Structure formats: C-alpha cells, structure tokens
Amino acid sequence: MRVTRENSHEIKKVCVIGPECTGKTDLSQFLAQHYQTPWVEEYARAYLNKLGRAYDQIDLLKIAHGQLRMEDEWIYEANRILICDTNLIVIKVWSEYKYGNCDPDILRKITERKYELYLLTQVDIPWADDPQREHPDKREHFWQIYKKEITATGVPFFEISGERETRRKQAVEAINSTFKF
C-alpha cells in the first residue's frame, strides 16, 4: 500500500519502550527487517552525539520535536506498521526524574500522538556501558514507571523478556496477534 496523507492513519504504530540498555534498538531493527518496514530511530542519540556539552531541559523539548518529525516522515515509507524505537513518554519520564517536571508542550504532544501497541522491554539483559546511559542501578525503577505510564494510555502492551531470540519471537507474536498479520 502506498501511504498518503489520507491513509497514513491506517499504518499501525508500534512503540518499543523501556529503560536504558534493555534491547530496544536491537529489537526495533529486527522488527523493521521482519516486517519490511522502516523503524524510527531514537532521535536523542544523534542529537546528544552532536551537542558537544551536557544536555539541559530545553534540549529535551528539541529532542521531542525531532522524534516526532522523524515519525511523521517515516510513516510515508511504512508497510502496514511503523516501528518506533522510543516515544515522548520516555522524554517525559526522564525530564520528571532529572528536573522534577516536564515541559507542557511535551505533555500535550503525548496526548495527541497515538500508538496501537507498546512493547515494554524488561531489564533482564546485562548492562552495557555507553556514554549516553546514566543510571545502571535504576533500570527496575524506570521499568515500573514506564509500565505505569503505558498502562494509563489504555493501549495494549506486551512485556518482552528473555534472550535475544526469545524477545524477537515474543515481539512478532505480539504484533501478529494484535493486528492479525
């Protein structure tokens, strides 16, 4: 199906969400390849790589806008589904944790942006150091917050856990059963 502005609402958006270092990117890449569709990378990674300084709260707003722009661009290349390696809930949680609040524009955009399925990645894989990762000791804490946040959306979600192949199988089964692929 050729995606146009008129039928872009027919594309199902799947968001892979979870704490740092829980296999989100690996899973997103796999799912995009499996379903022959694009995946929306985590905009924050590229943004922070180019920043040249420690980020501050205003950077989170810029990251949020960049993430949404990427989603809006890639939806026109999607094949039935669009895989999103994160969304604005992650930015909200991070902002509230680090700064005690979240920009109202981010909160508004969270309510406006719809996803049809969340895949919540569990913290049962080993931590891998990365200069952009900040809290290896708080993954379970953040996992609980993400679960609460996505539960509040009312959107179906599946918990993804285990070794790489198990995670991939769980994710494919979740997508196929949700969308009857």
Residue pLDDT, tens place only, 39-84: 999 999 899 989 988 899 999 999 999 999 999 999 999 999 999 9
Look over the chain and give the mean of its residue pLDDT values, rounded to a whole number. Answer: 92
d(Cα 90, Cα 54) in Å, to the nearest integer? 18
Nearest alpha carbon to residue 125 among 163, 170, 171: 163
Q: What DSSP designation does 11 have?
A: S
What is the identity of the amino acid at 102?
Answer: C
For residues 49 and 51, what is the distance between their CA atoms, to the nearest angstrom? 6
pLDDT in tens, 165-174: 999 999 999 9
Domain architecture of the chain: domains with CATH: 8-176 (3.40.50.300)
Token pair 């009312």: residue = 154
